[in-house]
Structure 1
């Protein structure tokens, strides 16, 4: 049973000044300001790139004081409260979490984010985990959160090559004359089964990356000390890997994986590679610090990966190029060049903007980059959204909430369903909760649910962005 929410709505029109040619600076006064009193100069901040865990599960972009120092004091009211956004009146604790130490009533009775953003784009929270035991699908609490709030998700780590490839099985196959790499789909299978049962689409992440791809994958016999293979052998392995990934998902769970990050983070202006025209990354994680894909195949590995993915992808499955710092003006130029090249050849459908940000990132740069990328006429996906707070104090969470509100307002104002020119199809936050419950240690503080699985101020501020921009689902937010 849903009850009407007594909210005063301010409908704010927003003009999205679109760009042609090079990016021009926009007038911030024409854009919605989430806090009129907050007029400080926001400085640029470099994204850190892909979030990767260490042995304890603590991720590379973690900051803050840790889950055990999560504040218990309620922040000063800046945004709305749980009572304002409760939509389930007769709450019954799901049987799966009946014995949980977490009280999830607020999280499972507030406005479902997937429904709130339905007029615009898919909304998701990524499934954390650095092994089978810590994967979100193993947690009843995380399952309930995903089912209630998400119509899309992605695995933060466990669909990457280093988790999919089995070295022992690859070596055994090679010893018997079989060059195809051997993949282990055990964890992926469990994830896809859960998502299929609960109508949650999956972003496949990621097929080709210079990181989290084992060095032995590039060596003869899949041996740690084998010589690096030649180009033809590597092409065969690349095609086989992509074919196996796509056909497993499509044959066993048709329609669940609706897009793939085919290549991740291959543009690096600092590498000064010129032949490609878009500055292909030459550095990577080989023992010599180089990108093995580039070492063996040259910059052509990017086009090859998309060519193979297009060959095996089912109709309607979008092929995505995904990168960090996509809003940086220098990097944006080269990403745009790559996207144009791939689009001309019919190989790409979407650009994935990771959006690993902080509260000090100038969000106007992000806005401007979306305006520019929209000129490509491709889908734009926000794939790994995280706006990191300085700490977990109430004041920091308030500033974080203001940034999330502004970010969402910008995306909504630019989206073509609201009169803009950008075809934004996905917004995905890159974890489920601060202080992720299956990690021994996790100091991430960018999520919309805190370490007690309670909505944070940024949860409410995102919903208020919907109201401020003026288009929202009237059945959900009244």
Structure 2
């Protein structure tokens, strides 16, 4: 039998197996959802069928309404990880895969960001990193890989158009490794993100899927969005049911900065970004793009998938009340049963928000009856020899605020740090300093600060259980565990003066969720170019050199800096033939640099990613299908922060 015939037969058999009910007649079991045993009350209708609730759990009612021949394609084969160079292969992670586990102690999911811009540098391409993640976390989020720019497939969409179908094709080959790993290890993935004013390919909005032609009309855009979401959810629902069970449907649609919003909607709809680029969705289809996106997502998502509205500065109340605007938007969506979760990105600078401001926002969302997920938690630092000590105090204060809110009843279901390690080892030069693990995958004090709070929380639970079990405790309540209220003083490690004046406080409005994306990296790259050569050398050294040798002589510094520059030049050459769409976005961004200069000046103190900007832009240009691109081996791991 020829291979093509075999593939056709296999496809037909798969379609038949999905179309038929299981042996007990329950069609929804293929999605890991049972059929209802007694209820006939329909709570929700989707493309696949009708759904009800029994004992608080979703179940299917009646027969499936999906056409029997409507079956998505099977996933591509995962990468051969043995053919890739693991830059963390010689890191000793024994201390992180034994003993204390964040996932085991947290009362909610503990997630981590999967960084990178292609298979060759996505976190799942490192066996060692994934071994650590599997022990410490139970949720993951691709910081780039599941955005529309990386999932929409122009070539296949053009083929659909040639067949008379205005249908947007999808290609998940770049994230198959993470999906497979999650399915095998019982982890979950947050899908990030479907609709955003950034990192949506320009051809999606243009006639004939051609970025050089005119924009299509509103009706065509929504028709394309419908096909995209259908193909997106179909692929995940059939091939990885239950793995991606939370999806950011719309990202950052609320803005309260003057001149950048339309408040005729009542919820400060974004018209342009903090950096000044337009909200293309608002401009082409109007402010109701948000509600329409959620309507389409609800139609194709499984009822067990939490649909999320995700935003940054969700705590902000000036110059207008962004928290209140988001609550209004969520209530509007809730009226049609379109949204499940508010995603608080949570980019924290040394100046804002304060723990009290952050806690108050959580309290307001909780009072509005909303489920909360902390989706991209990142704490930035300022320069100085004591940056790590200050960051540790800050981590403890903010995470204590989250735990206190949870203990007071806030429905917090997930907490995600948006990357695994400082100085991401897949990049030649990355000076990120915001993570829980250092460049050598050793625990930073930040990790222990969170772990200490989780242990305290569990100790309180154990004490409460003992009281309930034994009936001990007296009338004056000495045995009752009291928890501080949101906004009350929280006991923390002694904080040192940050030395940050009011004028040095940096707004997180422009940081948003794409810390690892090409757009924001481009802005930080502009900041980097404004530094003098001496500062750049110092930053590069700090990112790559062991703390014990940072006082080395000038000759050593010059050598290291030269090596980094050579590596960056090599990365530029290797990626010149990268994805045209991503390159075009970066080219467009260059035209805005002059206008953004004053904005970028305000971010000079956030140097976490400045040295990695050029590398990340070039990596983001690399084709998603580039599964076997070689990665230059890094320096051997050393143990620090012990």
**Coarse TM-score class (shorter-chain normalised):** 0.7 to 0.9
Aligned equivalent of 2:369 = 377
Aligned equivalent of 2:143 = 156
Aligned equivalent of 1:219 = 206
Tell me the TM-score normalised to structure 1 length.
Answer: 0.74
* Separation of aligned partners in 1, 2:391 and 2:452: 14
Match of 1:252 among 230, 234, 239: 239
Q: Secondary structure at the match of 2:270?
A: coil
TM superposition shift of 1:101 = 2.1
Asked if structure 2 preserves the Cα contact closer than 8 Å seen for 1:219 and 1:226, the reply is yes
**2:357 corresponds to 1:368:** no
Q: Secondary structure at the match of 2:169?
A: coil
Aligned equivalent of 2:105 = 116
Aligned equivalent of 1:322 = 310
Asked if structure 2 preserves the Cα contact closer than 8 Å seen for 1:409 and 1:469, the reply is no
**2:347 corresponds to 1:356:** yes
**2:177 corresponds to 1:190:** yes
Asked if structure 2 preserves the Cα contact closer than 8 Å seen for 1:466 and 1:472, the reply is no
Please say which of residues 108-117 and 131-140 is displaced more in the overlay.
Answer: 108-117
* Separation of aligned partners in 2, 1:373 and 1:99: 40
* Separation of aligned partners in 2, 1:106 and 1:366: 32
* Separation of aligned partners in 2, 1:104 and 1:440: 21
Match of 1:277 among 244, 255, 266: 266
TM superposition shift of 1:352 = 0.2
Match of 1:456 among 430, 444, 450: 444
TM superposition shift of 1:153 = 0.7
* Separation of aligned partners in 2, 1:388 and 1:433: 13
Per-residue CA deviation, residues 193-249 of structure 1 (Å, 9 max, x unaligned), is 111111111111111100011122100111111110111101111111111111111
Asked if structure 1 preserves the Cα contact closer than 8 Å seen for 2:88 and 2:126, the reply is no
Tell me the TM-score normalised to structure 2 length.
Answer: 0.56
Aligned runs of 1:4-403 on 2, under 5 Å? 100-117=89-106, 120-270=107-257, 271-283=260-272, 289-329=277-317, 330-361=321-352, 362-391=354-383, 393=385, 395-403=386-394
Q: Secondary structure at the match of 1:195?
A: helix
Q: Structure 1 residues 259, 472: closer, same or farther in 2, change over 3 A?
A: farther
TM superposition shift of 1:98 = 13
Q: Structure 1 residues 308, 379: closer, same or farther in 2, change over 3 A?
A: same
Asked if structure 1 preserves the Cα contact closer than 8 Å seen for 2:270 and 2:282, the reply is yes
Asked if structure 2 preserves the Cα contact closer than 8 Å seen for 1:113 and 1:150, the reply is yes
TM superposition shift of 1:257 = 0.8
* Separation of aligned partners in 2, 1:449 and 1:392: 19
**2:453 corresponds to 1:465:** yes
TM superposition shift of 1:277 = 1.1
Q: Structure 1 residues 173, 352: closer, same or farther in 2, change over 3 A?
A: same
* Separation of aligned partners in 2, 1:261 and 1:298: 20
In terms of fraction of residues, the more helix-rich structure is 2
Aligned equivalent of 1:57 = none
* Separation of aligned partners in 1, 2:368 and 2:396: 26
* Separation of aligned partners in 1, 2:236 and 2:447: 32
Aligned equivalent of 1:433 = 421
Q: Secondary structure at the match of 1:102?
A: coil
* Separation of aligned partners in 2, 1:471 and 1:169: 55
Q: Structure 1 residues 99, 371: closer, same or farther in 2, change over 3 A?
A: closer
Asked if structure 2 preserves the Cα contact closer than 8 Å seen for 1:219 and 1:229, the reply is yes
Q: Structure 1 residues 99, 200: closer, same or farther in 2, change over 3 A?
A: closer
Asked if structure 1 preserves the Cα contact closer than 8 Å seen for 2:119 and 2:175, the reply is no
Runs of 4+ in structure 1 off by over 3 angstroms are 96-99, 467-474
TM superposition shift of 1:471 = 4.6
Q: Secondary structure at the match of 1:321?
A: strand
Larger RCO: Structure 1 or Structure 2 (Cα < 8 Å, ≥ 6 residues apart)? 1
TM superposition shift of 1:359 = 2.9
* Alignment RMSD (CA, Å): 2.3
Gaps of 5+ in 2: 1-84, 463-642
Per-residue CA deviation, residues 247-287 of structure 1 (Å, 9 max, x unaligned), is 1111101111111101000111232302221111112599x
TM superposition shift of 1:105 = 1.6
Asked if structure 2 preserves the Cα contact closer than 8 Å seen for 1:262 and 1:321, the reply is yes
TM superposition shift of 1:175 = 3.3
Q: Structure 1 residues 471, 221: closer, same or farther in 2, change over 3 A?
A: farther
Gaps of 5+ in 1: 1-95
* Separation of aligned partners in 2, 1:356 and 1:408: 13
Asked if structure 2 preserves the Cα contact closer than 8 Å seen for 1:413 and 1:469, the reply is no
Asked if structure 2 preserves the Cα contact closer than 8 Å seen for 1:401 and 1:458, the reply is yes
* Separation of aligned partners in 2, 1:472 and 1:463: 14
Per-residue CA deviation, residues 62-100 of structure 1 (Å, 9 max, x unaligned), is xxxxxxxxxxxxxxxxxxxxxxxxxxxxxxxxxx98992
